[in-house]
Structure 1
Amino acid sequence: MNYRGFPMTTVKYKKNFLTNVICKIDFDPELSIKNEPPSKFQEKIKKDFPHLVENELNEYKTSFSKNENVIESFRAPLYVFKDSKTKAVKVINLSYKYLIIEFFQYKSFEEFVECVRNVIDVFSELYEISEFSRLGLRYINEIKINKGNPFDWTNLINSSLINATNDFFYNDRSNICRAISQIILDYDHFKMNFNYGLYNSEFPNKISRKDFVLDYDCYTANIEKKDSYEYLNKFHEKINEEFEKSIEEGLRKEMEGENE
């Protein structure tokens, strides 16, 4: 343990509460896929993502004309590549301005980042993109406990993350529908948006179930493709560090954690 009581060693878990793990890259200039479907990209990734669904985005563009802001709406294609036609656990979303790789069942960072690397390498080569306007990595943990007081997270969640809600609204807790907080952290070379709290899977109803969200989103701007994998590792290390600070031994036991 370090001086704040948080584990210094890396913990590997047999179970997790992750519902979404997401890598997103934004790029500028925009891709010309509005009129040209990404058939070559599809061919390169079809082994792991054989199923394609074509959707549309409702987009808005603001221009300045005759001393007025003019907002124009238009529809843009969104190509969704899935590993399964029925219940996909890995998905790619490709639009004219971003690429998203998302896992709904997460086993390890090694597996995830290998998939991300393969997809980004193919994408960058085909579209000759060597720099991203934004790179992000996001981990969403939706912690659901089947029994107990929905406001009592003793030995599960760091008390600092729940005390403000419990103390300030102690006499009014039965009326709470949702209690989410956000902290934005700047680590010089990248930032993290940390959202946490009683998200309530039955919202807008009042809280009756024991649900807690830990949502970590690391990102940086204007990054070269060759540096992106180093930053994904940095993001993962920071997210892992913050996650360990956010939880207590009871939750580690629930996830069957083991020191590496």
Structure 2
Amino acid sequence: MAKKKAAKRAPAKAKEKTGKEYKKNFLKQVIARIDFALPISELDSGVPKEIAKAIKKSFAIAEPKKQVLQQVLFSTSAGVHQSKSETHQWIYHSKDRSKLVNITGEFFYIEYKKYTSFATLLQDMKLVCNAIFDTFTTAQAKRLGLRYIDNIEFPKEAKPTDWSKYLDADLLSGFNLADDQATIARNFNVLEFNYGDMRMRFQYGMPNPDFPAAIKRKQFVLDYDAYCDQLLGKDDIAPQLTRFHDKIKASFEQVITEGLREVMING
């Protein structure tokens, strides 16, 4: 066990020695989300001007969206009947459409398709949080989440299930159960962590977009979702997001190898 632990710590030390930042990442999606403790009914009919004005500093393109929700209800007296209701999502995109904020009366989230840095994410979250919480001063969050989804791809490499060069062996043990790895159609796993007032769901593996065919594409997903279910005020958001980010970053570094770091450093 001592040798195994030392092997895991070594890559982190090697990275500290280089002092280099990653030029490349494999992030497919990054999402930060807040669910309101009580619905803000005013947001069902529109976004107040002061909020829209603040948001447009980072999200200049407004694109509202209406959803029709249809429910089928069962009753012993009235039988089966349907009901419809409308909800509105107030969506604002950045000029290059690489990120968006989606606001409803029950929640809002910021989503990045092109992620640059946590500093930018934190700045955007502060912008939206301040605009909403300063306008609706009694509002609180009941849930806060931060999710990073990495889709690691090497389409030109042979042996799609061989990740030993890039990922920690502990992630790959499931592949060893196959008598022939060429027959594997999916290998996906979930780990749940409870850190008291913070939880994290880690999903990892090869979901295989061609399922149920055998895996042919060299794609591996690392999906981290850190969150807390507790009442939070405006000033609690940034510290909690920073805590989530640091935990996700440390967990990511734990499961990758120097081979992947080299790819990410060199771009």
- Normalised to the residue count of structure 1, the TM-score between the two structures is 0.86
Q: Distance in 1 between matches of 2:147 and 2:255?
A: 16
Q: Distance in 1 between matches of 2:149 and 2:61?
A: 25
User: Quick one: structure 1 residues 123 and 141, their matched pair in 2 at CA, closer, same or farther if it must change by over 3 Å?
Assistant: same
Q: 2:135 aligns with which of 126, 143, 157?
A: 126
Give the strand-richer structure, 1 or 2.
Answer: 1
Contact 2:152 2:221 in 1 (8 A): yes
Q: Distance in 2 between matches of 1:232 and 1:21?
A: 13
User: Quick one: structure 1 residues 72 and 28, their matched pair in 2 at CA, closer, same or farther if it must change by over 3 Å?
Assistant: farther
Shift of 1:206: 3.2
**1:109-130: CA deviation from partner (whole Å, max 9, x where unpaired):** 1122111111111111122244
**1:193-228: CA deviation from partner (whole Å, max 9, x where unpaired):** 000001224445432110000000000012322222
Uncovered stretches (5+) of structure 2, i.e. residues with no partner: none
Q: Which moved more, 1:137-146 or 1:197-206?
A: 197-206
2:242 corresponds to: 233
User: Quick one: structure 1 residues 102 and 170, their matched pair in 2 at CA, closer, same or farther if it must change by over 3 Å?
Assistant: same
Give the helix-richer structure, 1 or 2.
Answer: 2
SS at structure 1 position matched to 2:108:
strand
Q: Distance in 2 between matches of 1:177 and 1:23?
A: 32
Q: Which amino acid aligns with 1:243?
A: F
Q: Distance in 2 between matches of 1:245 and 1:71?
A: 50
Q: 2:222 aligns with which of 207, 214, 217?
A: 214
2:196 corresponds to: 188
Q: Which has the larger radius of gyration?
A: 2
Q: Which amino acid aligns with 1:51?
A: I
SS at structure 1 position matched to 2:238:
helix
Q: Distance in 1 between matches of 2:146 and 2:68?
A: 24
Q: Distance in 2 between matches of 1:222 and 1:69?
A: 37
Shift of 1:48: 1.6
User: Quick one: structure 1 residues 11 and 162, their matched pair in 2 at CA, closer, same or farther if it must change by over 3 Å?
Assistant: farther
1:160 corresponds to: 170
Alignment of 1:1-260 (within 5 A): 3=6, 5-6=8-9, 7=12, 9=16, 12-33=21-42, 35-40=44-49, 41-59=51-69, 72-84=83-95, 88-146=97-155, 147-164=157-174, 166-171=175-180, 173-203=181-211, 205-225=213-233, 226-256=235-265
- Give RMSD over aligned pairs: 2.8
SS at structure 2 position matched to 1:56:
strand
Q: Distance in 1 between matches of 2:204 and 2:40?
A: 35
The count of aligned residue pairs is 253
Contact 1:130 1:224 in 2 (8 A): no
SS at structure 2 position matched to 1:207:
coil
